[in-house]
Amino acid sequence: MSRFFSSRHASLTAYTPGEQPQDRRYVKLNTNESPFPPSPAVVAAAAAEAARLQLYSDPESRAVTEAVAARYGVSPDMVLMVNGSDEILNFAFLAFGDAEHGFVCPDISYGFYPVFAALNHVPLREIPLRDDFSVDPEDYCGVGANIVLANPNAPTGRALPLADIERIVQTNPGHVVVIDEAYVDFGGESCAALVKRYDNLLVTQTFSKSRSLAGGRLGFGIGCPALIRDLNTIKYSTNPYNVNRMSAACGAAAIADDAYYRKNARTIMENRAYTAQALRQRGFEVLPSAANFLFARPAFCGGGELYRGLKARGVLIRHWDKPRIEAWCRITVGTKEQMDALLAAIDDMIREANA
Ligand SMILES: *Cc1c(COP(=O)(O)O)cnc(C)c1O
């Protein structure tokens, strides 16, 4: 810390992203990226737009905003495009949170929520998940605070049905409910259509997971026009050109190529079922998942041991040294070949443990 760093941030602990090591080629199953490249139309759109990078991007990102609005059946003034959905989550804490208007979220969820809360000096109360790592919707009904809930949740992969989400939104009319749908395309139920009936619902989604654009940094929020206007006030007070030309062009092309991404999501869901069964055969406890990852607990070793043993064998997964989940690991679901490499490395560890 320099002597210039504001004391406001002295106690801030920044988010730790999953490692992106450059030292060797890993089977990379640690940050829930898609194993599939963007569609050829998206690659072509990026290349064409690169030739126009001398010009600022459209601050309203009109083309991709209209494409997203049409895809989700809302009007363009109910959509805000952002530089990865992390950006709109931060905007939401900044726009709707203050000392009197805190947030609640599950104790085991996306690690960025507490960081956004701390950065913006917004109180955040964590509500424990049940012992089976499911969200009890009753905990959130009429809770009297703003809510941020990932559905499906991360790193557990468990999802709530739409009816539960609607009840949470309905019973908190005086507070904003942010539903983070980063993983919804892998078997969850989107609540995006509810924004037309509830003015306190903000749905966030990303192009990073199901749409193979993690490196493009593109996400969006869907909410009633007044909520979107508030978030735009924050956006225009920080960075009007938050979405660059290439990413906006990629996003519009990706929406147009929906069939390609739906097919990839189906493949990942098949590989998820295959891997969950194979892990259970090897003694793992595996949570039901509606996401492109599995949350699993090995029986033959600890969570940290599994992470380190697999890394030594060239397979990266994610582990948190955190109460309640230190015995567990989160494994991104990739191609069948990647899953077989994972299973071979696990078999090697099991052999070594039994030797
Ligand atoms: C990956 C992820 C995001 C955001 O990702 P971006 O790349 O910033 O769009 C948001 N929420 C959860 C739960 C995630 O896992």
pLDDT at 248: 98
Residues 231, 204: contact at Cβ < 8 Å?
A: no
pLDDT at 130 over 90: yes
- Atom number in ligand 1 closest to CA 86: 8
**Ligand 1: does its nearest atom lie under 6 Å from the Cβ of 180?**
yes
Report pTM: 0.97
Residue 113 one-letter amino acid: Y
What is the chain's mean pLDDT, rounded?
A: 97
What is the rounded distance in angstroms from the CA atom of residue 352 to the CA atom of residue 355? 5
pLDDT at 22 over 90: no
Distance 171 CA to ligand 1 centre (A): 26
SS3 content of the chain, % helix, strand, coil (to 5): 40, 15, 45
Q: Which residues pair with 219 in a beta bridge?
A: 82, 206
**pLDDT one-digit tens code per residue, 91-107:** 999 999 999 999 999 99
pLDDT at 151 over 90: yes
pLDDT at 24: 83
Q: How far is CA 209 from CA 158, 182, 278, 329, in A?
A: 16, 7, 23, 19
- DSSP H or E run through 293: strand 293-297
**Ligand 1: does its nearest atom lie under 6 Å from the Cβ of 301?**
no
**Ligand 1: does its nearest atom lie under 6 Å from the Cβ of 152?**
no
pLDDT at 264 over 90: yes
- Atom number in ligand 1 closest to CA 110: 13
**Ligand 1: does its nearest atom lie under 6 Å from the Cβ of 31?**
no
pLDDT at 19: 86
What is the rounded distance in angstroms from the CA atom of residue 159 to the CA atom of residue 136? 11
pLDDT at 348: 98
Query: What mean pLDDT is predicted for residues 54-64?
Result: 98
Query: What mean pLDDT is predicted for residues 72-85?
Result: 98
Query: What mean pLDDT is predicted for residues 10-17?
Result: 92
**Of 8, 38, 32, 49, nearest in space to 243 by CA:** 49
pLDDT at 168: 98
Query: What mean pLDDT is predicted for residues 197-218?
Result: 98
Tell me the three state secondary structure of residue 249: helix
Query: What mean pLDDT is predicted for residues 218-224?
Result: 98
Residues 218, 210: contact at Cβ < 8 Å?
A: no
In the chain, the percentage of residues whose pLDDT exceeds 90 is: 96
**Ligand 1: does its nearest atom lie under 6 Å from the Cβ of 214?**
yes
pLDDT at 18 over 90: no
Residue of 85, 109, 292 to test ligand 1 pocket, by largest number of atoms within 8 Å of CB: 85
Query: What mean pLDDT is predicted for residues 13-36?
Result: 92
What is the rounded distance in angstroms from the CA atom of residue 133 to the CA atom of residue 291? 15
Residue that has been written with the tokens 């949570």 in this structure? 287
Residues 6+ apart with CB under 8 A from 124: 102, 103, 104, 105, 113, 114, 117, 118
**Ligand 1: does its nearest atom lie under 6 Å from the Cβ of 218?**
no
pLDDT at 50: 96
Distance 181 CA to ligand 1 centre (A): 9
Query: What mean pLDDT is predicted for residues 306-325?
Result: 97
**pLDDT one-digit tens code per residue, 156-188:** 999 999 999 999 999 999 999 999 999 999 999
**What is the per-residue burial (b if ≥16 Cβ within 10 Å, else e) of 34-45?**
bbbebbeebeeb
What is the rounded distance in angstroms from the CA atom of residue 260 to the CA atom of residue 40? 10
- Atom number in ligand 1 closest to CA 153: 13
What is the rounded distance in angstroms from the CA atom of residue 34 to the CA atom of residue 31? 9
